Amino acid sequence: MSKIYKIALMPGDGIGPEVIAESVKLLDAVAEQSDFSFEYTEVLAGGAAIDAQNDPMPQHTVDICKSSDAVLLGAVGGPKWDNLTGAMRPESGLLKIRKELGAFANLRPVAVPPSLAESSPLRPAAVIGVDLLTVRELIGGIYFGRPSGNDGQEAFNTMRYTVGEIERVARVAFEWARKRRNKVTSVDKANVLDVSRLWRDTVKKLHAAEFSDVALDHMYIDNASMQMVINPRQFDVIVTGNLFGDILSDVSATLGGSLGLLPSASIGSGVGLFEPVHGSAPDLAGQGKANPIAMILSTAMMLDSLGESRSATAIRQGLDAALGYNSRTGDLWHEGYKKISTSEMGDLIRTETLKNLY
């Protein structure tokens, strides 16, 4: 009897619905050649949920996500809702669902194959072969620390971590390193911040106790940002806190030449949340100009998490084959390539993926 996976679809705002649609078409095509299928439930989030229910993450959405096997998210936010503040901002709904799902670790892989090296703002020779994974702590740190406030004359936020919060995300990083090239770089600001000194001490103790077979080094966030540009190939797995991870993973996203290439998975103690790193890009919405690759790679990460690694591998191989064609979406286009739409890129990846499943 075939397995049925319950997937919560959260298209969101801007280009979110367009890139989600390409992932669903791909998943359905893969399922036809496999011994599993998908049952989708579409839910509201972000600006779309504010417009419909005056709440960026309604409880109904949370409940459906918690009862699903995985959540696929397109994007949230846009200028229409920029005047909103606090818990009414679309982005606050994203913070809420991560917290509700217990998704404390955000995985952001970046790989630059030869076919994309020329799209990078760096020299191709500097980025060909880059294959790194940033593990970002996701539900603690300065984004959630209390107290925080703004009285119009003074504003403040609190960066706060416990040993337990640091250990659990560092453990994820070490375990991933064992599957990759066996190296972890822990990024902090221990020369200035007390919370970073606790971070560094905790990572060192965990390494000595459980992961001494994995190479470990430490970098300050400012140096790590510079090294990401100077020599990105030196990194295997990076582990860092919420704020630093937010910044550093976006820096790494530029290595391939577009945010439209970078997937992510938010995992932890419950249901996983899979989403592209790019935003809602409202200036591209509804025009067929969005790059679906990050969403499709996020979908592959979801399949890995569900134990369907054969299908996930077929998608990645299909994507690599598709990039070998003389076609690019607008964000990656330059002279010598054919410019294609969101759906055309999705169709191309789907065709090549199915070749790997037959």
Q: Which residues are catalytic?
A: 143, 189, 222, 246, 250
For residue 83, how many C-alpha atoms fall within 13 Å in the half-sphere facing its CB?
1
Q: Which domains does the chain have, with CATH numbers?
A: 1-103+270-358 (3.40.718.10), 110-256 (3.40.718.10)
Average pLDDT over every residue of 290-316: 95
Q: Considering only 44-48, 69-73, 94-98, 191-195, which range has the smallest mean pLDDT?
A: 94-98
Element (H, E) at 116: helix 114-117
Query: Residue 1's pLDDT band (boundaries 50, 70, 90)?
Result: low
Q: What is the C-alpha to C-alpha distance for residues 17 and 288, in angstroms, rounded to an integer?
A: 11
pLDDT tens-digit profile of 329-340?
A: 988 887 788 999
Q: What is the pTM of this model?
A: 0.90
Query: Residue 291's pLDDT band (boundaries 50, 70, 90)?
Result: very high
DSSP state of 267: E
Residue 259 above 80 pLDDT? no
Letter for the amino acid at 350? R
Average pLDDT of the chain, as a whole number: 93
Q: Which residues of 100-114 are buried (b: 16+ CB within 10 A; e: fewer)?
A: bbebbbbbbbbbbbe
Residue 97 above 70 pLDDT? yes
Element (H, E) at 16: helix 16-32
Average pLDDT over every residue of 274-278: 92
73, 33, 116, 88: which is closest to 357 by C-alpha? 33
Q: What is the C-alpha to C-alpha distance for residues 111 and 132, in angstroms, rounded to an integer?
A: 7
Give the pLDDT confidence score for residue 29 in this predicted structure.
97
pLDDT tens-digit profile of 113-153?
A: 887 878 788 888 888 889 999 999 999 999 989 999 999 99
Residue 50 above 90 pLDDT? yes
The residue with tokens 């890139």 is: 19
Contacts of 274 (CB under 8 A, 6+ apart): 70, 71, 72, 73, 263, 264, 265, 266, 298, 299, 301, 302, 305
Q: Considering only 12-26, 244-258, 297-311, which range has the smallest mean pLDDT?
A: 244-258
The residue with tokens 């397995």 is: 3
Average pLDDT over every residue of 76-83: 93
Residue 257 above 70 pLDDT? yes
